[in-house]
Amino acid sequence: MTSLASPAAAAGTWSLGDLTVNRIGLGAMRLTGSAAFHQGTPSDRGRAIAVLRRAMELGVNHIDTAAFYFSRLRSANELINSALAPYADDLVIATKVGPARDASGAWAASARPDQLRGQVEENLRQLGRDHLDLVNLRRMSQDSIGEHFGALADLRDAGLVRHLGLSNVRPEHLDEARAIAPVVCVQNRHGIGTPCAADLPRLCADRGIAFVPYFSIAGEGREAGAVRAEHEEVSTVARAHGVSSARVRVAWLLAQGPHVLPIPGTGDPDHLADNVAAGTLRLTDEEVARLDAVGSAAA
């Protein structure tokens, strides 16, 4: 079990349905390589496993992954299974379904509703579990998600999935899904300078739903990581506290509300520790407002 004194517990907890997690989690995508998916040089396997085990030592108990997170030689789910099974009782592994890739890594057409069971079962096999804690439906380009989300609700009723969430959605998709089954979280791109559209973080807060931001450090670099020059406001705040810009970015997310659960991804144990340490960084109201303004200018 995670110690209440663990670094990841410093920012507090939130409940995903009946599952309680420390607010700073880990995104597993970057464990598969130095760049996104099948591109770039595959990461060192031992280092990736060390990141996962270090995350547990730091108290991280929320990992975000997907069967389509793989590169030429690495699979995020397989790494998680190898590093962490048998799993701790309090570990919540969230997966995603919807996108589809072939064995070469090329993106295929997104899954039809009747294909989602196969994607769920693929995650189950790779992770070595008999049910999934949380499955997020990753919307691709469809205007309506009702049929897809309904298929996942059926799998929840069948006991293969415990809780459901959404990824890459707009407010109308959240309303559509909630009319079918409970939604415990929404995953959308969000960070300083790259704010989520339509004020989804606030909408989630109003509904008691977790908001899980991704690409919060990478920004415009997205899957390739933080490739941009850092914004001066972020650098100024970082210098004032004697910390990294990445730590400031995660701390800003935590300041957006207790329902915000960052999942910064990394393949570096030192970067992992730095990200988790954001839970102890307390930004002033003035600093938060200055960083908010960076996002407003970019919106």
Q: Two tokens at 94?
A: 């969230």
Return the active site residues: 69
State the pLDDT at residue 42: 57
Determine the Cα–Cα distance for residues 142 and 78; give it in Å rounded to an integer: 30
Q: Nearest 5°: CA angle at 267, between 216 and 16? A: 55
Rounded Cα gap, residues 131 and 191, in angstroms:
31
Q: Indicate the helix (H) or strand (E) that contains 207.
A: helix 200-207
If one counts every other C-beta atom within 10 angstroms of the C-beta of residue 35, the result is: 17
The pLDDT, as a whole number, for residue 12 is 97
Q: Which domains, and CATH codes, for the chain?
A: 11-298 (3.20.20.100)
How far is residue 1's CA from residue 100's CA, in Å, rounded to a whole number? Answer: 34
Task: Using alpha carbons only, give the angle 72, 78, 84 rounded to the nearest 5 degrees.
Answer: 140
Measured at the CA of 167, the angle between CA 163 and CA 168, to 5 degrees, comes to 165
Please give the pLDDT value at position 197: 75
Per-residue pLDDT of the chain (299 residues; tens, 9 = 90+): 445 568 999 999 999 999 999 999 999 999 997 554 545 555 689 999 999 999 999 999 999 999 999 988 889 999 999 999 999 999 999 999 999 888 777 888 789 999 999 999 999 999 999 999 999 999 998 999 999 999 999 999 999 999 999 999 999 999 999 999 999 999 999 999 988 877 899 999 999 999 999 988 864 544 444 546 789 999 999 999 999 999 999 999 999 999 999 999 999 999 999 999 999 999 999 999 999 998 554 44
**Residue that is written with structure tokens 């009946």 in the block:** 18
pTM for the full model? 0.92
Provide φ and ψ at 256, rounded to 5°: -75, -15
